[in-house]
Amino acid sequence: MPEAAQRELTFLAAITAALKEEMARDAAVMVLGEDVAVGGPFGATRGLAEEFGTARVVNTPISEGAVMGVAVGAAVLGRRPVVEIMFIDFITLAMDQLVNQAAKLHYMSGGQLRVPLVVRTQCGATGSYAAQHSQCLEAWFLHVPGVKVVMPATPADARGLLKAAIRDDNPVLFIEQRGLYWSKGAVEEGEAGIVPLGRAAIRRGGEDVTVVALASMVSEALSAAGQLAEEGISAEVIDPRSLHPLDLETIAESVKKTHRLLIVHEAVAQGGVGAEVAMQAQLAAFNYLDAPVRRLGAPFTPVPYSPVLERGYVPNAAAIVATVQQLMRE
């Protein structure tokens, strides 16, 4: 494989690269959010204000609701705003503008208005940030027609999906799992490596069980698949990458081959993405299933603070191995 146009970047640096590239490519792209002009809490927007000016990299007060609305009002006049909600927990403050305005204006206007908006936010229980800075809330937005939902698992996808999201003419919720920020991987440059929304990636081929894993659970699932291989269980690991639109075809094809399906996410299992994937997959491949579809997620509690509790809260490779072993006995 030619390596010329690739470089090794962290997930965070891949986000920054995508923002820079899209801002350079299209003057309509702008960034808004708290502290974005100074790089934000994790440095994702570092250097953007210096390069593109503070008219396009707009620092905002702590007013998530109005800032989301400002982005919508700019988007309907042709801008392509990328709003940063510092923690997905705070998106609650912007729900009205995202759900009632951004998601519905194209529909309610009979197509007169478009809202090309990206909401970048991060999630996940790591570092004892506790219950109001750690949630995984992606499932809420699968229930909102008009919004697309993306959750990258690798630096390459972080860049490729963010570029695609910025070029999309709809509101896209772009969820970054904080635990992945400092992970490294090969990332392409220029127009290469753009990842269309709605296309899953098969991270490991397998024959006996399909494991659909979201974001940080992809690496846990791959680790689990390695352990399961030693027991003679061949697991196929699928990273859906975007949750809406969902690449059901890739998942269903896999299930038709393996006859077993497990969905893993860090979010609370109840009412999570796993339920929706399970529903769609069983409709598409019911006759191929040899066992009930299973899901693995966090327990039905707020995210705990203590490191001991937090570690126990997040699903891991061991839990995936155990669930697959049980699934294989069914």
Partner 1 sequence: MAAKSQLDGGTAQALLETMWTIRLFEERVTELCGTNEIPGLTHVGIGQEAVAAGTCSVLRRDDYVYGSHRCHAPAIAKGADLGRLMAELAGRSGGYCAGKGGSMHIVAAEVGFLSGTGVVGGTLPLAVGSALVCRDHGRGQVVMVFFGDGAAQAGLFHESLNLASLWELPVIFVCENNGYAEFTPLSAHTKVERLASHATTYAIPCRTVDGNDVGAVRQAAAEAVETARGGGGPGFLECLTYRLRGHYVGDPAKYRELSEVGEWKKKDPLQRFLEVVARHALLTAEEVEAVERQARERVEAAAQTALASPPPTIDQTESHVYA
Residue numbers annotated as active site: 64, 133
Task: Indicate whether 77 belongs to the interface with partner 1 (CB under 8 A).
Answer: yes
Which residue, 244 or 295, has its beta carbon nearer to partner 1? 244
Task: Indicate whether 167 belongs to the interface with partner 1 (CB under 8 A).
Answer: no
What distance, in Å, lies between the first and last C-alpha atoms of the chain?
Answer: 41
Q: What is each CA distance from 156 to 14, 92, 93, 298, in whole angstroms?
A: 7, 29, 31, 27
Non-local (6+) Cβ contacts of 8 within 8 A are: 184, 185, 186, 187
Helix (H, G, I), strand (E, B) or coil at 305: coil
Non-local (6+) Cβ contacts of 287 within 8 A are: none
Task: Indicate whether 287 belongs to the interface with partner 1 (CB under 8 A).
Answer: no
Helix crossing, 273-285 with 248-258: angle to 10°? 60
Instruction: Mark the segment that binds partner 1 (CB under 8 A) among 54-62, 132-140, 224-232, 312-320.
Output: 54-62
Q: Which of 33, 40, 116, 193 binds partner 1 (CB under 8 A)?
A: 116
Minimum distance of partner 1 from residue 54's CB (angstroms): 10
Task: Indicate whether 38 belongs to the interface with partner 1 (CB under 8 A).
Answer: no
Measured between alpha carbons, how far is 128 from 307 in angstroms, rounded to an integer? Answer: 6
Task: Indicate whether 86 belongs to the interface with partner 1 (CB under 8 A).
Answer: no
Q: How many CB atoms lie within 10 A of CB 188?
A: 16
Q: How many CB atoms lie within 10 A of CB 212?
A: 30
Instruction: Mark the segment that binds partner 1 (CB under 8 A) among 13-21, 44-52, 104-112, 124-132.
Output: 104-112
Q: Name residue 65's amino acid.
A: G
Q: Which of 78, 190, 230, 232 binds partner 1 (CB under 8 A)?
A: 78
Of 217, 121, 197, which is closest to residue 157 (Cα–Cα)? 197
Q: Which of 39, 43, 65, 302 binds partner 1 (CB under 8 A)?
A: 65
Instruction: Mark the segment that binds partner 1 (CB under 8 A) among 73-81, 127-135, 149-157, 265-273.
Output: 73-81
Which residue, 69 or 193, has its beta carbon nearer to partner 1? 69
C-beta of residue 160 within 8 angstroms of C-beta of residue 190: no
Report residue 68 as tokens. Answer: 């989301």
**φ, ψ dihedrals at 89, nearest 5°:** -55, -30
Minimum distance of partner 1 from residue 96's CB (angstroms): 6
Q: Which of 10, 45, 97, 126 binds partner 1 (CB under 8 A)?
A: 97
Minimum distance of partner 1 from residue 63's CB (angstroms): 4
Q: What is each CA distance from 300 to 4, 297, 313, in whole angstroms?
A: 47, 9, 10
C-beta of residue 174 within 8 angstroms of C-beta of residue 120: yes
Q: Which of 40, 69, 152, 179 binds partner 1 (CB under 8 A)?
A: 69
Q: Which of 8, 50, 109, 312 binds partner 1 (CB under 8 A)?
A: 109
Q: Which of 16, 45, 60, 210 binds partner 1 (CB under 8 A)?
A: 60
Instruction: Mark the segment that binds partner 1 (CB under 8 A) among 101-109, 176-184, 260-268, 277-285.
Output: 101-109
Instruction: Mark the segment that binds partner 1 (CB under 8 A) among 59-67, 253-261, 265-273, 312-320.
Output: 59-67
Q: Which of 74, 225, 251, 296 binds partner 1 (CB under 8 A)?
A: 74
Strands 172-177 and 118-123: parallel
Of 280, 202, 270, which is closest to residue 234 (Cα–Cα)? 202
Contacts with partner 1 by CB under 8 A lie at 55, 58, 60-61, 63, 65-79, 81, 96-97, 100-101, 105-116, 145-146, 148, 169-170
